[in-house]
Amino acid sequence: MTNGVKVDYGNGFTLDDGTVLTGQATATYSNVVITSTKISGTVTLALNNYTKNGGYATVTNITSSVNVNVSAQGKLTGDVTIKRERAPPRRGQRR
């Protein structure tokens, strides 16, 4: 993938500490602009059937957008936005 990274744990990947991860995590970026006077872009993290030790994530998508200006003195002004999409409860899952 040219605009990000995808990690596929498949039916299970065990970390050194014994934690078991399953499913997929995909991070992508778009509209990135970095100049001496501006920083902007969007980063999205999407989780697909992702579990940690059998528990599903309570958030399935996170999108962060940055749109800031940089002054000659290095001062940043602008907006940083973070949005999340909650996963629907799964059978037997508590919130």
Q: Could you tell me the residue ranges of all domains in the chain?
A: 4-86
Look at residue 88 in the predicted model and tell me its pLDDT: 74
Q: What is the pLDDT of residues 42-69, one digit of tens each?
A: 999 999 999 999 998 888 899 999 999 9
Q: Does the pLDDT at position 4 exceed 90?
A: yes
What mean pLDDT do residues 21-32 have?
Answer: 96
Long-range contacts of range 81-90, CB-CB < 8 Å, 24 or more positions apart? 84/59, 85/59, 85/60, 85/61, 86/58, 86/59, 86/60, 87/47, 87/56, 87/57, 87/58, 87/59, 87/60, 90/56
CB contact set of 2 (below 8 Å; sequence gap of 6+): none
Selected residue with higher pLDDT from 50 and 89: 50
Q: What pLDDT does residue 79 have?
A: 97
